[in-house]
């Protein structure tokens, strides 16, 4: 998403600076108050008052990852009592699972949270060593984790969610946010038409979500 956005905004004469290190909630609030211009990877429900481009900048699919010999399936919140769930602090998965995580975040027999730029790595290590039974994350992020390390995924996905559109959402604090949203949306169309979008996505083991 960042590479695509940088290419679009650079062509339009803007410089995009990507800042990491704060939680999702803090990023939303600081953007809402004008500290930042926007947030990356947002669903429209994350911050309904923000300015969203017409075009999404990606698709998100959450899923559980388990050992290949594990027959467990997610059939609702009650089924989580059978596993130790690994998740990432401040991430939003869906309302049902978010509520469960908040309820049991201080009970490591049910939920174990990690944070920071290496959060997925820590969860993978814990899953490998049996410290957790399953982890939940975006399927594309997990696939890229293994691709970037030239590793085959030894686990399996279960209960893949329906696709959710992801956006770069711009702050309601700034009058120029609508202009930025338009630049980004138009730029995605242009990159798609030129083939540049698919070229970028192939680097991450992905393909244009709007093409067969």
Q: What is the pLDDT of residues 102-132, one digit of tens each?
A: 999 999 999 999 987 788 999 999 999 999 9
- Per the CB < 8 A criterion, the answer to whether 64 and 88 are in contact is no
- Between CA 200 and CA 54 the distance in angstroms is 21
Average pLDDT of 201-212?
Answer: 82
Over residues 162-170, mean pLDDT:
90
Q: How many CB atoms lie within 10 A of CB 203?
A: 11
Q: What average pLDDT does the structure give for the chain?
A: 92
- Give me the residue label for tokens 């594309």: 140
What does the pLDDT average to over 141-160? 91
Helix (H, G, I), strand (E, B) or coil at 179: helix
Q: Which domains does the chain have, with CATH numbers?
A: 2-58+164-202 (3.40.190.10), 62-158 (3.40.190.10)
Percentage of the chain beyond pLDDT 70 is: 99
Which residues pair with residue 39 across a beta bridge? 169
Q: Could you tell me which of 28, 11, 19 has the C-alpha nearest to residue 167?
A: 28
150 confidence band (pLDDT: 50, 70, 90): very high
Q: What percentage of the chain carries pLDDT values higher than 90?
A: 72
Alpha-helix residue ranges (DSSP H) falling in 75-211: 95-104, 119-128, 139-147, 177-194, 196-202
Instruction: Specify the higher pLDDT residue, 86 or 204.
Output: 86
pTM of the model: 0.76
Whole-angstrom Cα distance, residue 168 to residue 184? 9
- pLDDT of 159 reads 86
What is the Cα–Cα distance from 153 to 147, expressed in whole angstroms? 9
**CA-CA distance, 42 to 51, in Å (whole number)?**
11
Strands 38-42 and 58-60, sheet pairing: unpaired
Please check the confidence at residue 137 and state whether its pLDDT lies above 70: yes
- pLDDT, residue 211, reads 67
- Token reading at 67: 């050992």
pLDDT computed for residue 24 by the predictor:
78
Q: What whole-number distance in Å separates Cα of residue 52 and Cα of residue 90?
A: 22
Using CA atoms, how far apart are residues 141 and 40, in angstroms rounded to an integer? 14
Report the distance separating Cα 110 and Cα 118, nearest Å: 21
Residue 12 confidence class, pLDDT cut points 50, 70, 90 = very high
Overall average pLDDT of the 48-68 stretch: 94
């Amino acid at each position: 998403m960042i590479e695509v956005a940088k290419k679009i905004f650079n062509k339009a004469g803007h410089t995009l600076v990507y800042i990491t290190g704060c939680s999702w909630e803090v990023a939303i609030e600081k953007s809402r108050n004008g500290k930042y211009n926007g947030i990356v990877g947002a669903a429209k429900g994350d911050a309904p008052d923000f300015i969203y481009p017409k075009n999404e900048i990606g698709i998100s699919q959450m899923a559980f990852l388990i050992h290949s010999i594990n027959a467990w399936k997610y059939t609702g919140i009650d089924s989580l009592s059978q596993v130790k769930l690994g998740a990432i602090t401040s991430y939003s998965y869906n309302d049902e699972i978010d509520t469960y995580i908040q309820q049991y975040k201080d009970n490591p027999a049910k939920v174990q949270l990690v944070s920071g730029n290496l959060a997925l790595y820590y969860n993978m290590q814990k899953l490998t060593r049996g410290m957790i039974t399953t982890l939940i994350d975006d399927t594309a992020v997990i696939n890229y984790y293994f691709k970037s390390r030239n590793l085959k995924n030894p686990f399996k996905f279960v209960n893949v969610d329906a696709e959710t559109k992801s956006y770069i959402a711009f702050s309601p604090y700034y009058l120029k946010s609508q202009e930025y949203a338009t630049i980004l949306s138009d730029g995605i169309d242009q990159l798609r038409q030129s083939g540049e979008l698919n070229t970028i996505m192939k680097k991450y083991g992905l393909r244009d979500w709007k093409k067969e």
